[in-house]
Amino acid sequence: MAAGSESRLQLIHRHIRAFPDFPNTGILFRDICPILKDPAALTAVIDLFEEHVRKNYKQVDLIVGLDARGFLFGPLLAQRLCVGFVLVRKKGKLPGATVSVAYNLEYGKAEAEIQEDAVAPGQKVLIIDDLLATGGTLYAACELMKKQQAEVLGCMVVIELKELNGFERLKPHSVFSLVKY
């Protein structure tokens, strides 16, 4: 990575706080709130995502953001790329006709949904979120895109928790992570 990219990654890394035993005992929570509070750190995140997309993808039609922290980074990136932004929400949060998919969480089940007309067949999409842990939510988003007949170019996250192997669940889709723990 170029020197400028490396210094931006260091800035991002310095703005991620760790909270032991949150929300449950034994979990080390990685908090992105300091990134959002610091304009330089937030700009660094979006700069690095933008560089990755421009270098690796000739055409992107939409950025698809996951509820809720993907909503923080996705619109900023979409604006930079001059493409649209689409929401993937928890079931029951979107008006109108929706398409949904059920998926497993570490401690239960959930459903994600998208508005039926949000993504057209054949559109090229990148999916964005703040964190990749076990991959359940990102996998559900990929499945929603499959239902919509969209082409998932890849997934992008600020933080990846490598020991949980979430990237394995997302194969064959690629995962771009800024910071790995």
The residues assigned a catalytic role are 69, 106
Give the Cα separation of 20 and 83 in Å (integer): 38
Cα 90 from Cα 100, distance rounded (Å): 9
Q: Give the helix/strand (H/E) hosting 121.
A: none
Q: How many CB atoms lie within 10 A of CB 93?
A: 12
Q: What residue spans of 19-82 are helical by DSSP H?
A: 33-37, 39-56, 70-81
Closest CA to 124 of 156, 151, 87: 151
**CB-CB contact of 134 with 102 (8 Å):** no
